[in-house]
A and B are shown apart, each in its own frame.
Chain A
Amino acid sequence: MNTTRRDLLTAALTATGAAVTTDLAHGQAHDHDHDHQAVPSDPALRVKALESLLVAKGLVDRAAVDALIDTYEHKIGPRNGARVVARAWSDPDYKRRLLTDADAALAELGYGGLQGEHMVVVENTAEVHNLVVCTLCSCYPWPVLGLPPVWYKSAPYRSRAVIDPRGVLREFGLEIDENAEVRVWDSTAELRYLVLPERPAGTDGWNEERLATLVTRDAMIGVAKIATPASGDHA
Chain B
Amino acid sequence: MNGVHDMGGMHGMGAIKEDKDEPVFHATWEGRAYGVTRAMGGWRLWNLDASRFQRELIAPVDYFEMSYYERWITGLVELMLKNKLVTRTEVETGRPDEGAAVRTPTFTADKVPGFISKGVPARRDVPAAASFRVGQRVRARNINPIGHTRLPRYARGKVGTVDRDHGVFVFPDTNALFLGEKPQHVYSVRFDARELWGEQASRRDTVYIDMWDDYLAPA
Contact = CB atoms under 8 A, between A and B. Distances in A.
B35 A50 contact: no
B8 A163 contact: yes
B22 A67 contact: no
B196 A48 contact: no
Interface in A74-132: 76-77, 112-118, 120
B108 to A, nearest CB: 5
B112 A15 contact: no
A14 B91 contact: yes
Contacts of A184: 205-208
B126 interface: no
B18 A50 contact: no
A64 B74 CA distance: 21
A115 B119 contact: yes
Nearest to B212: A189
Chain B interface residue number, banded: 35 or more
Q: How large is the interface on A (under 10, 10 to 19, 20 to 34, 35 or more residues)?
A: 35 or more
Contact of A156 (B17, B68, B197): B17
A171 B74 CA distance: 32
A11 interface: yes
Given A1-B146, A186-B152, A135 B100 contact: no
Nearest to A15: B91
Given A11-B88, A68-B35, 8 more contacts: A7-B78, A48-B29, A61-B109, A64-B42, A113-B116, A150-B26, A172-B18, A185-B208
Interface of B: 5-11, 13-19, 22, 24-29, 31-36, 38-40, 42-43, 52, 54-55, 57-59, 61-62, 64-70, 73-74, 76-78, 81, 85-86, 88, 90-96, 100-105, 107-109, 111-113, 115-123, 146-147, 150-152, 154, 166, 169-170, 186, 188, 193, 196-197, 201-202, 204-212
